Amino acid sequence: MDRRSFVKTGAAAGIAAAAAGGFTFLSISRVRPAFDLVIKGGTLLDGTGAASRVADIGIRNGVITAVGSLGNATADRIIEAGSFIVSPGFIDIHSHLDTSLLVSPRAESKIRQGVTTTVTGNCGSSAAPLGGPELKQTLAEFEDDFGYACPYRDMDGFFTLLKSQGTAINLLSLVGLGDVRAKIVGLDNRPAAKDEIVRMQREAALAIEQGCFGASTGLEYTPGSFASTEELIEVMKGIPEKHRLYATHMRNEDNRVLEAIEEAIAIARGSGSRLQVSHLKAQNRANWPKQAAAIALLEKGIAQGMEIHTDRYPYVAYSTTLAALFPLWSRDGGTDKFLGRLKDSSDRSKIRSEVLGKVEGLGSWESIMISSVSKPGNKPHQGRTVQQIIDANHEDPFEFVANLMLDENGGVGMVGFGMDEPGTELVLQWKNTMVCSDAGAFSPWGRGSRSNPHPRGYGSFPRAIAHYQRTRQITTLPEMIRKMTALPAEKLGITDRGVIAEAKAADIVVFDYQTIRDTSTFVQPHQFPEGIPFVIVNGRIVIDNGVNTGALAGSVIRST
């Protein structure tokens, strides 16, 4: 009997048996393995800060279903992790991905350092809401970057777009109150009217309803810098209490850093918010002794019953826009007015004196490196300090940076070498500090390689382990892992990630403790870290023996 006859005969026999009231089953079945993936024999750090232990992990349908000794359990794939550390996927509590994931959905610079979940919408700037006087320019820039018209105006639209495209890592977002103010009040330095505060409250609450986990401010940037303490308290009150997380890039991070911390605490206390001080630091040599006093202020707030945390990237240099070097009054009204003042000889002279004062605080023009420009003719400046550039060009340093800003329409990135190692260690060691990158997504090729980014974009999490824990030993390895996993998950209120336990999402990093390290540098930033052979997102292997599988395994996580 051939196969076709067998099938026909079998089917007829089944029908006949059913008609006679009997039961005949003809089936060929495959026994499914117990798990989709098993990570076997690794040294487990579960994220809680508990001591390590050897354990197997079983994963089914993107969820951890077993932790312990799994013996000879079957799986579609088994990773032998005997010589490796196995930890929860790292949560980057402070990043700036936003629309960069639309350019680089594989998020190479994130996933290869073990980041499986990232929090964006920081420093007062989020993907939405879009509106206000610079909406036309924003839409034009989006179309230039992506080749199609921006299809969204609010956070729901952005989340929907990102979900439809896919991403290698999980993303969740805060709403930027700088963008909210730009849409409702505009770019001028003036107090918000009462009705405008009500509208900002509604705008922030809408973003939360659409899935944001809290709000952020960037009080050194326009137009967020124009918001008063009282205004920010009232706007934050408009956010439902459950999601009233206030993450702030404070009004000052150098000469008035202590006053800025006091304001941040006042805003959180006045609005009933949970406070997160973004990338806590004391910039400029004269302010380095203030780092201990800054932490003391945060401790005082905690003692008074407040929930206060901070985040920090593990480097002594910061990264921002070159516009931050210029006085606040010169940036009043937005980019066009700022550039107009740079062209006006009287304003330019005033601006010059204030910029030179800020550079003196940093030390010299050697402390300022140009990190990103857009015009091809300016690309040679990337990765070089202003001092190096003017030494070669025999140009006045202020005139160079002012003219560069004009040529680039204000869009210049910089790295500032302004912090010290003892202060950095003190912050990273503090019990309520979470590790972050404060960076977007990059890659050594394609559109992700156009800028010369801060190496934190590639190496923050490996460096925190390799340099600050393994070498400097500022804390234990279980505690450092907690600062990257369970602690940020608790801060955000997400309960299905951040620890390795049954019923949790299978976001997992497998790394070699002896060899893990960052390789990215300020001169050559586009270099992946070493010592992280496997990264798993929602149960799918994205980094497999050091190779990116291309799996877009991430999800958009909404607060609602």
Does the residue 387 lie in any domain?
yes
| Exposure string for 344-374, b = 16+ CB within 10 A, e = fewer | eeeeeeebbeebeebbebbeebebbbbbbbe
- Spatial distance between the Cα atoms of 460 and 17, rounded to a whole number of angstroms: 68
Domain boundary among 397, 417, 437: 417
- Spatial distance between the Cα atoms of 468 and 245, rounded to a whole number of angstroms: 28
- What pLDDT was estimated at residue 30? 63
User: What average pLDDT does range 150-163 have in this prediction?
Assistant: 97
- For 167-222, write each residue's pLDDT tens digit: 999 999 999 999 999 999 999 999 999 999 999 999 999 999 999 999 999 999 99
- What pLDDT was estimated at residue 9? 35
Residues present in the chain in total: 560
Q: What percent of the chain has pLDDT over 90?
A: 85
Considering only residues 50 and 104, tell me which one the structure prediction assigns the higher pLDDT. Answer: 50
Indicate whether 15 pLDDT > 60. no
Place of tokens 């985040």: 311
- What pLDDT was estimated at residue 170? 98
Burial of 254 (0-12, 13-18, 19+ CB in 10 A): buried
Does the residue 292 lie in any domain?
no
Q: Of the candidates 475, 482, 543, which has an alpha carbon nearest to the alpha carbon of residue 509?
A: 543
- What pLDDT was estimated at residue 348? 95
pTM reported for the whole predicted model: 0.89
- For 481-516, write each residue's pLDDT tens digit: 999 999 999 999 999 999 999 999 999 999 999 999
The one-character DSSP state at 543 is E
- For 286-317, write each residue's pLDDT tens digit: 999 999 999 999 999 999 999 999 999 999 99
Does the residue 430 lie in any domain?
no
349 contacts: CB under 8 Å, gap ≥ 6: none
- For 97-149, write each residue's pLDDT tens digit: 999 899 889 999 999 999 999 999 999 999 999 999 989 999 998 998 888 99
The total of other beta-carbon atoms located within 10 Å of residue 493's CB is 13
Indicate whether 11 pLDDT > 70. no
Q: Of the candidates 103, 102, 100, which has an alpha carbon nearest to the alpha carbon of residue 122?
A: 100
Q: Of the candidates 1, 9, 11, 66, which has an alpha carbon nearest to the alpha carbon of residue 35?
A: 66
Phi, psi dihedrals of residue 433, rounded to the nearest 5°? -90, 135
Is 208 within 8 Å of 493 (Cβ atoms)? no
Domain boundary among 396, 417, 438: 417
Does the residue 339 lie in any domain?
yes
- What pLDDT was estimated at residue 25? 40
Q: Which residue stretches of 68-189 are H helix?
A: 100-103, 108-111, 135-146, 155-165, 177-184
- What pLDDT was estimated at residue 6? 30
Does the residue 17 lie in any domain?
yes
Indicate whether 73 pLDDT > 60. yes
Does the residue 411 lie in any domain?
yes
Task: Please name every residue paired with 59 in a beta bridge, in sequence order, or none if there are none.
Answer: 37, 64
The pair of structure tokens assigned to 57 is: 């992990």
Q: Total domain count for the chain?
A: 2
- What pLDDT was estimated at residue 27? 44
Is 345 within 8 Å of 479 (Cβ atoms)? no
The total of other beta-carbon atoms located within 10 Å of residue 270's CB is 15
Which residue range forms the structural domain that includes residue 401? 321-417
- For 408-463, write each residue's pLDDT tens digit: 999 999 999 999 999 999 999 999 999 999 999 999 998 888 888 899 999 999 99
Does the residue 221 lie in any domain?
no
- For 354-408, write each residue's pLDDT tens digit: 999 989 888 899 999 998 899 999 999 998 999 999 999 899 999 999 999 999 9
- For 515-542, write each residue's pLDDT tens digit: 999 999 988 999 999 999 999 999 999 9
Does the residue 301 lie in any domain?
no
